[in-house]
Structure 1
C-alpha cells in the first residue's frame, strides 16, 4: 500500500520534507539565540549603568562619541546655562510628567543638553524652575541622543514653543542657533527640588521591538516546521485513501506515479 513512497514524485516530496524541517528548526533556533543575546545584552547594560554611577566623573570630551561602553558613564562639563526646553510625556515612578532640559553652553561653543530633573503633571513653563545663572559645573550620567519612535520616545510634532519630544541633537539644532553635542546628561541630583531622572541603558540593548521581533520569528519558523510535517502526513493519508479506493474497485487502478497527491 505504501509502495507509492518509492515513486520519483514521492522521492522529491520526501527529500523536500527532510531538508525543510531541519532548516526551519535551525532558523528558529538562530532567532531564539538572537533574542537570548539581546536579553543578556540588556542585563549587562543595566548592570553597567548601576556600576558607572559609583565611578568618578570624567570630562565630557573623554567620553564622546557615546557608545555601549560610555553610555551611563559619569561625565562632567562646565559652562553657562542657556535655552531651556520641556520634554513632555515622560513617566517616572508610574506617574506622568515632563523633563526640564537646559542647554549648557560650554567654553568650546557647543551646547550640552542637560536634564536637570523631572516634574509631574502637564508640561508648564511657569512651573519649571529657572536654571542657575553664571558659570556652573554639572555632573551626571552620559546618555546617547534619543531616537524618536523608539524605546517609548515620542515622535510627536507640532508641540508648543519651548518644548521638544525627543532629546536629540537632530531636533535641538532646529531650536537653537548654536551647535549641540550628540549626547546629553541627566544630573545625579535633581536641580531646584526636581526629581533626578535615572540613567537608561545604552541604545539597542533593551528588550525593544527588535528583540520581540526575534522572538516572533522564532515562533514562525517552528510553526513552519510543524506545518511541513502536517502537510506531509496529510498527503500520505490522501494517497493511501486513493490507493485503497482503487483496490476496492471504487476508482480505476492508477499507474505508479501517475496520480498526483491531492491536498
Structure 2
C-alpha cells in the first residue's frame, strides 16, 4: 500500500487533498477569530456627556457605540405630544413612563422619557399638565440615549392604543403635524424628571461579552472537513490497492 501511495497520481491527489484541508483550516481559523472578536469587551466612556449630534445622527440607525451614551442637546418640548408608556420597570417596580416630543435647535425630533410614575392616574395627570404648558424657550437637555424599541401589539383585552415600548416608528404617527422632519431612531432618558414624576433609573450599561458559540461550532465543522479531505484521499488509495490485490489474486488463481 505504501508503494501505491508513492505513485505520482496519488502523490498529486495527496497534494490536492492537503490544499483543500489547508483551505478548510483557514476558514476554521477565521471563524475562531470572529468568535474571539465578538467576546472582546469594547471599553466605552458612556458616562462622559457628548453632544447628541456627535453620538448619533437623525434619519438612520444609531451606531452601537451610541447605545447608553450620556448626551446633551438644546431644543424645546412640544406641549401636547406627550404619550403614556405602560409596563415600565423602575428599580424593580412596574409603572408608567411619560414620553414627550423634543425638537432640537437643528429642527430634528427625538422622544424623551420625562419620568416614571407607579400609578396610571398620576402619570395621566402629569401628561395633562405638560400639555397645558406654553411652548418653552430653548433649553439644554441631558440624559442617556437608547435606541428605538420595536412596537408591540397590546395583549388581548387591553386598550389597542396601549403602548409598552418607546418606538420611534409608532410615536411619529401620533405627533402633531409630523411629516418628513428629521427624527432620531431612539430616545433620551432624562437625567431629571418632570414635576409629579420620579427620575427614571438608568444605570450605566454593562460591558458583558460572551463568545459566539455558533462561530466556534462552524470552526469545528471546518476542522472536521479538513480531516475528511485527507481521510478521503487515504480511502481512495486503499480502495485502489485492494482492487489491485484482488486482481492479482484472481490472475494468480487463473495461472495456477
Give TM-score, length-normalised by structure 2. Answer: 0.64
Larger Rg: 2
Write the distance in 1 (CA, Å) between the matches of 2:17 and 2:93. Answer: 54
Instruction: Specify the alignment match of 1:79 in structure 2.
Output: 76
* Aligned 1:17-166 pairs, distance under 5 A: 17-40=17-40, 43-44=41-42, 47-48=43-44, 51-53=45-47, 55=48, 57-65=49-57, 66-68=62-64, 70-77=66-73, 78-80=75-77, 82-86=81-85, 100=97, 102-106=99-103, 108=105, 110-116=108-114, 130-131=126-127, 133=130, 134=133, 138-146=141-149, 148=150, 156-157=152-153, 160-163=160-163, 165=165
Write the distance in 2 (CA, Å) between the matches of 1:16 and 1:5. Answer: 14
**Equivalent pairs, count:** 228
Write the distance in 1 (CA, Å) between the matches of 2:217 and 2:89. Answer: 28
CA contact (8 A) 1:190 1:197 kept: no
Residues 1:198 and 1:11: Cα distance change in structure 2 (over 3 Å): same
- The answer to whether residue 182 in structure 2 is matched with residue 183 in structure 1 is no
Give TM-score, length-normalised by structure 1. Answer: 0.63
RMSD of the alignment, in Å? 4.3
Residues 1:188 and 1:107: Cα distance change in structure 2 (over 3 Å): closer
SS of the equivalent of 1:72 reads coil
Unaligned stretches of 5+ residues in structure 2: none
CA contact (8 A) 2:39 2:210 kept: yes
CA contact (8 A) 1:115 1:197 kept: no
* Aligned 1:221-236 pairs, distance under 5 A: 221-236=222-237
User: Which deviates the most, 244-253 or 30-39?
Assistant: 244-253
Where relative contact order (Cα < 8 A, 6+ residues apart) is larger, the structure is 2
Residues 1:156 and 1:235: Cα distance change in structure 2 (over 3 Å): farther
Unaligned stretches of 5+ residues in structure 1: 149-154, 254-263
Superposed CA deviations along residues 112-144 of structure 1, whole A, max 9, x for unmatched, are: 222456789xxx955856457345754222234
